[in-house]
Homo-oligomer: A and B are copies of this chain.
Amino acid sequence: MEKKIITISREFGSGGRTIGRAVAEKLGIPFYDKELVDQIALESGFAPQFVEENGEHAPGKSFFSYAFAHQGVPGIMNGLSTADFLWNIQCNVILQLAEKGPCVIVGRNADYILKDRKDCLHVYIHADIDYRANRIVTRYGESDKSPENRLQEKDKRRRVNYQHYTGRSWGTAQNYDLCLSSSTLGEEACVDIIVKCATGK
């Protein structure tokens, strides 16, 4: 069966976003990454930067300290924490996008949110620590923290967020149709394999 919707979950620094974009280009279908953030921001009233920084991160106290970033829609959160409010909107946006037609969706637990659709290919991209460390320094520059610490921190936040909202363990093969190591296989091969699996060709 042809898979029309491709979700890509990825370790930070693994190149999953770049691979997702290349898959969307090859298949000539929309790629939702930044657009997803903008849509969630629009529907939530939060600033895009806030959604970007917090949408895949651990729910916790830090969310409350940002609650005032929520602009102009007081009263509609119905007692939900900011994190839960954002999660509900994220689910709705992703479900609606999937209804629109074939696409590639990167991150934001889309594999779980769309788990009941049969026309999805769920992909997980990971890579070894050295590959990821080199990649984030090249792409995002140095910071006062070591690349390894930055990776560990981001990994932990994604893992906690995923577990909290899905009840699943992050990086478990059984949650995906396809898991690929970009550091071993190379990004180009990852793109080819995903396209093959999605199209059946």
Q: Which of A74-82, A101-109, A179-187 contacts B (4 or more CB under 8 A)?
A: A179-187
Q: Which of A18-26, A86-94, A169-177 contacts B (4 or more CB under 8 A)?
A: A169-177
Instruction: Report B-chain residues with C-beta under 8 Å of the C-beta of A171.
Output: 172-174
A178 an interface residue at 8 Å Cβ cutoff?
Answer: yes
Instruction: Report B-chain residues with C-beta under 8 Å of the C-beta of A67.
Output: none
Q: Which of A49-57, A146-154, A189-197 contacts B (4 or more CB under 8 A)?
A: A189-197
Partner of A126, one of B173, B184, B197, B200: B173
Complex Cα gap A174–B171 (Å): 7
Q: State the oligomeric state as a number of copies.
A: 2
Interface size class of A (residues with CB under 8 A): 20 to 34
Instruction: Report B-chain residues with C-beta under 8 Å of the C-beta of A192.
Output: 196
Per-residue contact bits, chain A 104-141, to B (CB 8 Å; 1 contact, 0 not): 00000000000000000100101000000000000000
Min distance, Cβ A91 to any Cβ of chain B, angstroms? 23
Partner of A177, one of B174, B181, B197: B181
Min distance, Cβ A5 to any Cβ of chain B, angstroms? 13
Complex Cα gap A126–B179 (Å): 11
Complex Cα gap A97–B178 (Å): 29
Min distance, Cβ A42 to any Cβ of chain B, angstroms? 33
Complex Cα gap A180–B121 (Å): 11
* Nearest CB in chain B to that of A3: its residue: B184
With A172-B171, A196-B189, A196-B193 known as contacts, the answer to whether A178 contacts B177 (CB < 8 A) is no
Complex Cα gap A173–B180 (Å): 8
Complex Cα gap A117–B27 (Å): 36
B179 and A173 contact, CB distance less than 8 A? yes
* Nearest CB in chain B to that of A1: its residue: B184
Between A and B, 10 residue pairs with Cβ closer than 8 Å are: A126-B173, A126-B174, A171-B174, A172-B172, A172-B173, A173-B179, A185-B197, A189-B196, A193-B196, A193-B197
